[in-house]
Structure 1
Amino acid sequence: MGSEGPAPAVTDLKLEMVGEPETIVPASATDTSPVFLSNIDQVVVIPVETVYFYPANPEKGLDKLVDTLRDALAKVLVPYHFMAGRLQMNTEEMRLQIDCNRAGAQFTHYTSGVAIADLGDVTLPNPAFRGLVPTKFNATVVFELPLLAIQVTTFKCGGYTVGVMMNHTLFDGPGAIGFFMNYTALARGEELLYEPDFDRTPLKARDPPTPTHEHFEFFKLSDLTGTDNPFTTPGSAEAEYVAMQNSMDHVTRVIPFTPEMIEILKKRALEGDTIKRVSTFEAVAAHLWLARTKSVDLMPDMPTNLLFAVDIRRRMKPPLSKHFAGNGVFSSCARATPEEIEKMSFVEAVQHIQKAIERVTDDYVRSSIDWGQINRGVPALFGGFFLSAWWKMPFYEIDYGWGKPIYAGPIVTPLIEFVLLLSNGTQDGGLNLVIALEPEQMARFEENVKITA
């Protein structure tokens, strides 16, 4: 069922930098006041790398592409001025904030000596694609890194890619989409679609913080000693900057979920009338939770978490701004021991997912924010995983004026704690699952994840 696909036709992209990396600052004067970062922002001081493949446009050459994207970036950094800043420690409160110092975003241009068609199926993982996103910075610690870096690569066929490194403290998926829609509108010569609202103080902890729920979706900072966790603490920004490296211990698979397979899961969830409705995400998440947990080596009585993002913009009271530009998501959690999961029916797994979503209310989120203020915790992934539903984001609509991309998605990282659900690039309702595991675990997972009528 899984696929790494055929070996890429080209693994050497024959990349050459044109000039030197440029620093792009806002095109006009901007506010230099620091931007408050919520407790949700604080735990995601991690780079998110995405790449967008654009085919050649026979009616429009690339002679103005680089200048257009560079100029539009300077313009969009006026309303999004905080993206041109740097992370900074507020020493009075010992929490991160954004120093809006106009240090700038990084912009680079590369050429490739190959054609996009030479790359084979660009929807499949290819280590060579890391060359299409910015990875080289004049920085030794995370505080010095740009929060946004863009690399435009033009191919000999007339196609191009836009590779983006964006620090997750800036946005969640909806916030990033809003930025790109504004950026591309300016690149096309249109007006800004809307002014972003980057005020995160509506998600500030209460004074005094008063958590009212147990929050097993988080680890306390004091409990993290010796525990590897991909999420971050405020001290992470002071750490030495090291570019992410591919792991040799894990294999990555892309596993398609066709519309027919998804329909089988949804019908299975509704058997017996225990559940009255089920979404695609709930059905797929439950199936993956059962399959992955049964495939990895875990202590049978140790609780394991499935975490996933729930948009809280409309769940808060009052709701967050329509154009909220920050991390307006909550890491909700389905929790059970491997022993319980081994005996769990598919319908029961779906119920766990649905209850985790229903749990995300204004009261629960504010309790969590307060809990984080006291305990400085991070999402609890030990033994579990975070399921990221990228397919819901309209990344395929990002058009700089040369047409829409043929592929848009993340550069696949070697983090086994993250499982991705991506669009399959069509409009048929199917999905692609991207997962990394140790070879023996992957062999078991590929059997456990199979769907039969």
Structure 2
Amino acid sequence: MELTTYAIRADPRFEAVYQLSPSDLQIPPRAIRQAFIYSTDDQDESKVQSLAISLQESLKTFLKPLSKETRQTDTTYPQLLGRVVRPKDGGLPHVVVDESSSVPFKVATRLDIDFEKLSPAQRFPDEAIQKADFAIGLDDSELLSQHNLIVQLTFIKGGFVLVVQIHHVITDGYGYAGFMRQWLQRTNTLVTKGWYEENPSTKSTKTSIHDKTELLRDVCESPDAVGELNGLKTWETLYKNAPKISKNPLMGSKEIQSKIFWLSPGSLEKLRAEMHNYTEDRPTIFESITALAWQCLARARTDANTAVESTTSSGLFAADMRTRLVPPLVTDFFGNAVTAVVARARLSILLPKQHANVATVIDTVQATLRKDTTDRNLRSINRLIFSQLQAGRYVPADLLGQDVLFNSWEHLYPSLGAMEIGVGKFCIMRNLQDAPITPSYVLLLPSYGMRQTSSSEAASHKYQYSGGIELEVHLLRHQMEKLEQDEEWTRYFSV
């Protein structure tokens, strides 16, 4: 194996300090690490040789300070160059960029790995994309503490894998994807045209993608708002009744297994129609999937020792606040702007497959997602979680027990075309998490605008995404085995 690490620096170099919002400070020191998989053929050989240089040169164009004299642009990401500093005097963490700051960019050649080893025929399962091959040392905590952005580009026989790791404290998955879309597009232009010039029209004329003002604003305490704060009350009750825990529930155990399941376009419509039988308001795809998953995971995690009648499960739904705040944040806001709303259901409701029980579950999910994701609820919940963390109390979620965390990255990347880099063909993205990975986590993966596209209508390239929706599920191994045997689950999902 050939491995070279380059230090990508700003030109000209600069120093700066960037503050973090309360939303940022709720995140444990972990990384978002996505692997972008591309296939190549003999015609790509000449471009492959220069791909690493093109990626590095285009990356440098984003590593510029935020300008106070001119409008901040939506094509500047100086935080990526820095590191998160946690002051020893108890001050709030912040991002520091020094003149010596750099982005480690690793380039590896692994011609002993054939593209077929990634199992494209099985839609690139998690176990085929090993960190030991494609993210060498990126999970080192010391490395994460020194660099907010680390990249590894690995050339294999018949393709390449681009792994991009960004410190989660500086942004969530939505901000991550906003940067990636721009970087891939800029690299594509550089590869295909040989040059790139920033279009002045791309400069922000309104709120910057770095403007955290709305996340710092106080919540309206108007008496008229009390009736809207059911979501906040649910959280307050959880904190009141939960025992103090010494470990962040997002950090699981080494026994957690990650597996990707697939819903074909036909299965999606079938599931949505089935759920519509139980509720007056037509459910969204997300509502339908999460309602079914909540029930199936409850069955997978219940055993003879579970006190069914007295146990209540919390379904935590990650809600992106960008478009829900008033006024909203910009679409590509770079930072953490996600908070969770909670639905509650007794196991005695979740476990049976009777009509009335399913109706209760889907109604509960819809009420939570449609009524508790208001501006005031989200601001209030976000402030409550931050204040509790400051007081040493973690989020009261028993993810190794009966609670479930739901999230969606389905719309992060709008199309396969948006992922092209000027070399080869984009196939798929995979999420590479550190162990111990978050337990009882259900994540909708990107569908690239193809949720309704059947395999026969999908892109002509045989390795590319084939339509439908993928679901990443984290469970203890014996629970995963039970889930895969659940009749309701297998009606819609396949591996």
By the TM > 0.5 criterion, same fold? yes
TM-score bracket, shorter-length normalisation: 0.7 to 0.9
Q: Counterparts in 2 of 1:325-340, with a 5 A limit?
A: 325-340=334-349
Q: Distance in 1 between matches of 2:475 and 2:270?
A: 26
Which AA in structure 1 matches 2:60?
A
Say whether the 8 Å CA contact 1:311–1:330 is kept in structure 2. yes
Structure 2 residue aligned with 1:7: none
1:42-101 CA deviation, whole Å, 9 max, x = no partner? 224321221111111544321111111112122222210111111123567743222233
Q: Distance in 1 between matches of 2:473 and 2:140?
A: 31
Say whether the 8 Å CA contact 2:152–2:162 is kept in structure 1. yes
Say whether the 8 Å CA contact 2:103–2:149 is kept in structure 1. yes
1:13-42 CA deviation, whole Å, 9 max, x = no partner? xxx2433x2322223344603222333552
1:193-218 CA deviation, whole Å, 9 max, x = no partner? 55662122320263999996325287
Name the CA shift for 1:202/1:90 in 2 (closer, same or farther; >3 Å).
farther
Please say if 1:417 is aligned against 2:430.
no
Which AA in structure 1 matches 2:261?
I
Q: Counterparts in 2 of 1:8-87, with a 5 A limit?
A: 16-19=1-4, 21-30=5-14, 32-61=16-45, 62-78=48-64, 79-87=76-84
Name the CA shift for 1:47/1:342 in 2 (closer, same or farther; >3 Å).
same
Q: Which has the higher helix share?
A: 2
Structure 2 residue aligned with 1:399: 420
- Which range moved further: 129-138 or 71-80? 129-138
Structure 1 residue aligned with 2:264: 258
Q: Distance in 2 between matches of 1:418 and 1:443?
A: 16
Shift of 1:228: 5.0
Say whether the 8 Å CA contact 1:43–1:378 is kept in structure 2. no
Q: Distance in 2 between matches of 1:174 and 1:95?
A: 24
Structure 2 residue aligned with 1:106: 104
Shift of 1:224: 4.2
Q: Distance in 2 between matches of 1:386 and 1:85?
A: 30
SS of residue paired to 2:269: helix
The percent identity for this pair of structures is 18
SS of residue paired to 1:77: coil
Name the CA shift for 1:39/1:327 in 2 (closer, same or farther; >3 Å).
closer
Which AA in structure 2 matches 1:271?
N
Say whether the 8 Å CA contact 1:204–1:369 is kept in structure 2. no
Shift of 1:267: 1.3
Which AA in structure 2 matches 1:355?
A
Q: Distance in 2 between matches of 1:299 and 1:331?
A: 26
Which AA in structure 1 matches 2:281?
K
Q: Distance in 2 between matches of 1:183 and 1:228?
A: 33
Say whether the 8 Å CA contact 2:349–2:357 is kept in structure 1. no
Q: Distance in 2 between matches of 1:154 and 1:181?
A: 21
Q: Distance in 2 between matches of 1:198 and 1:85?
A: 15
Unaligned runs of 5+ in 1: 1-15, 232-243
Which AA in structure 2 matches 1:225?
I
- Which range moved further: 262-271 or 386-395? 386-395
Unaligned runs of 5+ in 2: 65-75, 191-195, 455-466
Shift of 1:170: 2.5
Please say if 1:346 is aligned against 2:358.
yes
Say whether the 8 Å CA contact 2:339–2:382 is kept in structure 1. no
Which AA in structure 2 matches 1:43?
I
SS of residue paired to 2:470: strand
**TM-score, scaled relative to structure 1:** 0.82
Which AA in structure 1 matches 2:216?
K
1:339-390 CA deviation, whole Å, 9 max, x = no partner? 3323562222122121121211111112123213431254443131222323
Structure 1 residue aligned with 2:489: 450
Q: Distance in 1 between matches of 2:274 and 2:382?
A: 36
Name the CA shift for 1:290/1:123 in 2 (closer, same or farther; >3 Å).
same
Q: Distance in 1 between matches of 2:11 and 2:471?
A: 40
Q: Distance in 2 between matches of 1:115 and 1:139?
A: 27
- Which range moved further: 139-148 or 31-40? 139-148
Name the CA shift for 1:330/1:251 in 2 (closer, same or farther; >3 Å).
closer
Name the CA shift for 1:266/1:144 in 2 (closer, same or farther; >3 Å).
closer
Say whether the 8 Å CA contact 1:39–1:372 is kept in structure 2. no
Shift of 1:268: 1.7
Structure 2 residue aligned with 1:434: 472
Shift of 1:406: 0.8
Name the CA shift for 1:166/1:259 in 2 (closer, same or farther; >3 Å).
same
Say whether the 8 Å CA contact 1:84–1:104 is kept in structure 2. yes
Q: Counterparts in 2 of 1:20-419, with a 5 A limit?
A: 21-30=5-14, 32-61=16-45, 62-78=48-64, 79-89=76-86, 94-101=91-98, 103-112=101-110, 113-121=112-120, 123-126=124-127, 129-136=130-137, 141=142, 144-157=145-158, 159-187=159-187, 188-189=189-190, 190-192=196-198, 197-204=209-216, 206=218, 213-216=232-235, 223-230=243-250, 247=254, 249-271=255-277, 274-297=279-302, 298-300=306-308, 301-343=310-352, 345-358=357-370, 359-376=372-389, 378-382=394-398, 383=401, 384-394=403-413, 396=416, 397-411=418-432, 414-419=437-442
- Which range moved further: 285-294 or 74-83? 74-83
Name the CA shift for 1:35/1:101 in 2 (closer, same or farther; >3 Å).
farther
Q: Distance in 2 between matches of 1:255 and 1:137?
A: 26
Q: Distance in 2 between matches of 1:431 and 1:100?
A: 39
Matched residues, number: 421
Which AA in structure 2 matches 1:290?
Q
Say whether the 8 Å CA contact 2:247–2:394 is kept in structure 1. no
Which AA in structure 2 matches 1:360?
T
**TM-score, scaled relative to structure 2:** 0.75
Q: Distance in 1 between matches of 2:234 and 2:425?
A: 42
Which AA in structure 2 matches 1:116?
F
Q: Distance in 2 between matches of 1:117 and 1:373?
A: 46
Q: Distance in 1 between matches of 2:215 and 2:117?
A: 47
Which AA in structure 2 matches 1:369?
N
- Which range moved further: 287-296 or 431-440? 431-440
SS of residue paired to 1:34: strand
SS of residue paired to 1:18: strand
Name the CA shift for 1:433/1:49 in 2 (closer, same or farther; >3 Å).
same
SS of residue paired to 2:351: helix
Say whether the 8 Å CA contact 1:219–1:378 is kept in structure 2. no
Structure 1 residue aligned with 2:73: none
Structure 1 residue aligned with 2:71: none
Name the CA shift for 1:73/1:410 in 2 (closer, same or farther; >3 Å).
same
Q: Distance in 2 between matches of 1:66 and 1:164?
A: 13
Shift of 1:229: 1.3
